[in-house]
Amino acid sequence: MLRSIGRRLFLAACGTAMLVGTASAQQVVNVYTTREPALAAPLFEAFTKATGITVNSVFVKDGLAERVKAEGAASPADLLMTVDVGNLLDVVDAGVIQPVESKVLSDAIPANLRDPQGNWFALSMRARLIYAAKDMPKLTSFHYEDLSDPKWKGKICIRSGQHPYNIGLTAAYIVHYGEAKTEAWLRGLKANLARKATGGDREGARDIMGGICDIAVGNSYYVGLMRSGAGGPDQKKWGEAIDVVLPTFENGGTHVNVSGAAVAKNAPNKANAVKLLEFAVSPQMQAVYAKQNMEYPVLAGAEIDPIIAALGPLKIDSVSLVEVAKARKKASELMDKVGFDN
Amino acid sequence: MALLVLLPVLALIEIAAQGSGDLWPHLIENVLPVALQQTLLLLLGVGVLTTLMAVPCAWLVATCRFPGRAALDWALLLPLAVPSYIVAYSYLDVLHPLGPVQSALRFLLGISSPRGLRLPDLRSIGGCIFVLSVVLYPYVYLSARASFLVQSAAALEVARTLGAGRLRTFLRIAIPLARPAIVAGVTLALLETLGDIGASEFLGMRTLTVSIYTTWVNRSNLPGAAQIALVMLLLVLVIILGERAARRSRRFVATGSTRPQAPTQLTGLAAWGACLFCALPVLLGFAVPLAHLTLAAAQRIEFSGISLDILKEARNSALLATAGMLVTVSLGLVVAVAQRVDRSRITGAFVRLAGLGYAIPGTVLAIGLLTPMAAFDNLLDGFARQLAGVSTGLLISGSGGALILAYGIRFLTIPASGVEAGYAKLSPHLDMAARSLGCTRGAMVRQVHLPLLRTALATAALIVFVDGMKELPATLLLRPLGFETLATHIYAEAARSTYEDGALAALVIVLVGLIPVILLARISRSAAEGAARPSSSSKSGT
């Protein structure tokens, strides 16, 4: 038995090696993604249908940059997709990607949503919003700054301060106001928490319904996923138990983060990777890709899901995404310093 | 073999050395105090609670007769089949204000709005201790029960004759006799606690393992993460050395007859009390999560049907767990045999090192392995391209070979210490006899040792299999393209907090895990009873 399994493993290993070795002949593109494969699947399927190129994907939750770096020259990775601008900069910093020049991409994606050197490209956006209990006076407008207002003491739910979504928001705060003011804001927010900073964004809505908190911080697409009923009847109830407010910075707009992609440095199928990227920014695919996770498309004029459109007009914050990504480390350290998750 | 375990540790040291020390002032000021405090509290809590649950249960089941005893005997092992992260998910749902417990409570108290009642949150250190304890107590139960089953009736009867009550006999005689076994079980539970990422992170803990994740993932600082991981390894060494010391200072041997005790028949209140007490851990660690998962899975199937992917994932999980088990048990056997036949200090040190793998968090282990393995693959690929003009690609790291190796390293200590414990029962006189009858060392191991170690090997194999089915962090990082297991499926769903979609996969993990756990229960009882038979009193040697 041992021998037969050993033989099977060896054959499997050889099989994989041959698959990788002859990949270019078979017209494939290998995608390493930190985005859950189910969310990108419709894009991949449409791409295969349109071009005949097979998409192999692997979900790499953490350690994308390290994995590709370690794999080195023999890495089968062609395209690296991430759910966060910070991870995009990580793969750039790790030196595992190569720049791409493509008029299709630079025409479709606004300049602030891609790297000037062509190192990475955003494909969709999500906004960080406020969920509010229905049984309290309606909030007509809300500023991120208000989260530290003592009037919310014991009333706010939020996920871990170290989660990339909250790190992104805090990093944007740093870019707006500097470190000292951000630290004071975080201390105020921490003092306002109704429970430990943990769980997911959707649990903010569930906990509002469960009477634990009055407001919660959560992403736009979760509202769409809950209210659409795609997650089941329970989640539909949570989504309908909340009002949603699009907050802004007092002197800016709503904080957004992006999902995006970069072409791997040693991509064996570089041309196919670029083709997939260009395919992803076509108007039709932008709508499909964004809609799959109820996000905002990056292509101006592409269709937005009606549930998301109904949340109101999105005014994107003016600070540069790259600046925000650079402030992430500081944001993470401030979270530790104020003991946000303790 | 030990070098294999050392490989990721060495890689870790190398990665850690690439970082500057500038992270440390921040870590020492803001991260480590909390992380150490929470980790130690968690270890203390889990250590105490698992002992309080498992030891009395093991004693009652091993030495008393009461209603339901036969079923509870094996049912107490069932939580082994449930991964801790799944138990954490389940309890968050069950105990949420909108969940069944609080809803029923509000109904009974006549409170209409969830805002009218606020119970303590599961997301706390107490909640985390509870969740980890109800899944990890079987490690303590398993070894304590085995020890109680073989305890000689003589010592206990003498105590009773001298007027000690039942409780006093238990506390003053039985427990001290079983102490090494209890400590061994608790040590396993503590190592699991230390490396836990799913439940702790989910319940909002800031343990060392969670801090490693944070430093690595959010601050993109792998060297920093490796540095914290090395601190954690020190803690592991302390735990392992503590266990060794506890074992060394108390080495009890049964002398003369090891006639097993006649079971005490409990009656009336005591009988039902014992039944309830033993049923409670099974209820909390298994029945509640299973009921919740079954309900959630049924709702999902009704809502969105069954995806056939789950069958493929179940097959992948089982295949991986089987291959991991074979490799791990073979490695563990080699380590233990080496220690038996070659009693040098160096071998002993290596065996101790083998225990380290278990405590390295899966993710860190994976990173530690990825680097040297991919380097090897690239070297091979380069040679092949130069010599033959073909590419071998990523032969090990791209094929699942890396993953199986990671399982081998991570779980090595289970068969290694299991076999070692099995050996401890075999008198060295046996070896001398075999050698003097002309056996070579190899023949002695094959013909004398292996048959006698069968039970220890099978027990270790089953535990490794169950652990392999549950393994998440290393699998997440090292699995080949397009290869999903049940655990990675659940994690992907949990990552987008649609864990209800993972309910079915979670249920399948539990159900598949049940088979080896039930086998385990059978083996461990027949083994213990076999050992307690007077005919096998040869174990009294050391």
Residue A217 has pLDDT above 80, yes or no: yes
- Which residue in this structure is represented by tokens 């997911």? A200
Give me the residue from A211, A234, A329 closest to B113, CB to CB. Answer: A211
Helix ranges (DSSP H) in B218-358: 222-249, 268-282, 288-304, 309-341, 345-354
Phi/psi of residue A109, nearest 5 degrees = -100, 125
Binding positions of A: 221-222
| Cβ <8 Å between A71 and B378 | yes
Residue B256 has pLDDT above 50, yes or no: no
Q: Which of A67, A125, A122, A75 is nearest to A262 (CA)?
A: A122
- Residue ranges of domains in chain A: 2-124+256-305, 127-254+318-337
Distance separating alpha carbons of residues A193 and B185, to the nearest angstrom = 39
pLDDT tens for each residue of B352-385: 676 677 767 777 787 788 778 777 777 887 777 7
Distance separating alpha carbons of residues A164 and A160, to the nearest angstrom = 9
What residues in A contact B480, CB-CB < 8 Å? 16, 58
Is ipTM strictly over 0.85?
A: no
Chain centroid, CA A334 distance in Å: 22
- Nearest-by-CA chain B residue for A2: B326
A127-254+318-337 has which CATH code? 3.40.190.10
| Cβ <8 Å between B374 and A197 | no
Interface test with B, best of A26, A66, A160 (most B CBs within 10 A): A66
* Tokens standing for residue A306: 């009606």
| Cβ <8 Å between B491 and A195 | no
Amino acid letter, B328: T
Which residues sit opposite A259 in a β-bridge? A124
Give me the residue from A1, A16, A197 closest to B398, CB to CB. Answer: A16
Chain centroid, CA B291 distance in Å: 23
User: Looking at per-residue confidence, does B288 or B539 come out higher?
Assistant: B288
| Cβ <8 Å between B113 and A199 | no
The per-residue pLDDT for A50 is: 94
Pick from A130-144, A248-262, B214-228, B397-411: least confident = B214-228
Angstrom distances, CA of residue A86 to CA of B93, B96, B237, B279: 32, 33, 36, 49
Angstrom distances, CA of residue B329 to CA of A171, B98, B352: 48, 45, 16
Assign B411 a pLDDT band (cuts: 50, 70, 90). confident
Answer whether B203 touches A (CB < 8 Å): yes
The per-residue pLDDT for B241 is: 81
Residue B276 has pLDDT above 90, yes or no: yes
Residue A310 has pLDDT above 90, yes or no: yes
The per-residue pLDDT for B530 is: 63
- Nearest-by-CA chain A residue for B202: A199
The per-residue pLDDT for B245 is: 80
pLDDT tens for each residue of B34-67: 999 999 999 999 999 999 999 999 999 988 999 9
> How many beta carbons lie within 10 A of that of residue A116, not counting itself?
10
Fold held by A2-124+256-305: D-Maltodextrin-Binding Protein; domain 2 (3.40.190)
The per-residue pLDDT for A19 is: 43
Asked whether the domain spanning A127-254+318-337 has the same topology as the one spanning A2-124+256-305, the reply is: yes
> How many beta carbons lie within 10 A of that of residue B288, not counting itself?
18
Give me the residue from A63, A74, A195 closest to B123, CB to CB. Answer: A195
Residue B510 has pLDDT above 50, yes or no: yes
CA dihedral B97, B98, B104, B107 (to 10 degrees): 90
| Cβ <8 Å between A16 and B374 | no
| Cβ <8 Å between B370 and A70 | yes
For residue A121, the SS3 value is strand
Q: What's the mean pLDDT in B517-522?
A: 84
pLDDT tens for each residue of B160-197: 777 777 778 788 878 888 888 898 889 889 988 988 87
